[in-house]
Amino acid sequence: MLPATTEAIDMPDLSNLPASTSELPPASAPKVSNRQQKRQDRFNEVRRLRLAGRSVRQIARELQISPKTVIEYLHRERCPDWNPGGPRTTRLDGFQAAVDAFVREGGRAATVLHRRLKDQGCNSSYDAVRRFLRRRFQAAGIVTVRSSRGPPHLRRPSARQLSFEFVRRAEKRSEEAVKRIAKVNPIPELCGSLKLANELLEMTRGQSKTQLSDWLARADVSESGSVQSFAQTLRTDAAAVQAGLSTPWSNGPVEGQVNRLKTVKRSMYGRASLPLLRARVRAKP
């Protein structure tokens, strides 16, 4: 039972509401932040200036942005979205299966993974591989413990280093060099080339009776294009090469005197006259 006196309650006016939901106004578009709008305007301005014939440097100077940003905008069809903290696509995404297989095998060292991916054609840096591996650990729920001392870094020898180790006399090679050369010799692509190179080394040291003409004939039919090209270079001055292999003379003293002459000239800052330079070179040291 209601009380005798009641207070009046203000009710909203519902007479203006639409009769059905079909008459409701469309939902408003999501709000765009000021930063996003500025980025979109800058993106449009970059493309407009490019169509007007401006260069990348001119656009960067006028809009006060880096040339790298200008190039990125020109390569995109729409303005890039800014998603802080979100996952970014990397070149390592194509190697995710190989990384996951490495993790399932119990691999934990980023150095080993980086070396393995490099053999598969990946050009990413070690730091990029380490960050990607950490994300895959997190996705798999694996907790890793960072040690203060990582595994020893095994640096691969360069082709230049291997070539110097190969031409060095056998008795002067280090134990590591001997092991590396022993691993390189059986490679089918290098076996014939290394054999020819070793024969030429023995010829230059006077330890072989092989004739230069015989060596050039076998080098011409080598499977290596580099060896064939080198043989053609030797043929252009075969007489001088043959003389260098068969006579005891050497141009080493001449090269030494040339270097001495250059040193004396540099000591006078290149301003010495010819008589003064001749006097200093002829003078006893």
For 18-54, how does the pLDDT look when each residue is reduced to its tens digit (9 = 90+)? 444 344 444 444 455 688 888 889 999 999 999 999 9
Find the range with the poorest average confidence among 12-16, 123-127, 272-276.
12-16
Whether the pLDDT of residue 92 is over 80: the answer is yes
- Assigned token pair, 59: 């656009």
3-state DSSP helix/strand/coil percent for the chain, to nearest 5?
Answer: 60, 0, 40
pLDDT at 228 (0 to 100): 92
Distances (CA, A) of 237 to 173, 199, 208, 241: 32, 19, 21, 6
Q: Which residues constitute the domain of residue 69? A: 36-75
Q: Are 40 and 106 in the same domain?
A: no
Q: Are 204 and 233 in the same domain?
A: yes
Nearest-angstrom CA–CA distance, 241 and 237: 6
Give the confidence band of 86 by pLDDT, cuts at 50, 70, 90: low
Q: Are 53 and 102 in the same domain?
A: no
Average pLDDT over residues 242-253: 85
pLDDT at 47 (0 to 100): 92
Q: Are 70 and 99 in the same domain?
A: no
Q: Which residue has the higher pLDDT, 116 or 13?
A: 116
Q: Is residue 277 part of a domain?
A: no
Q: Is residue 189 part of a domain?
A: yes
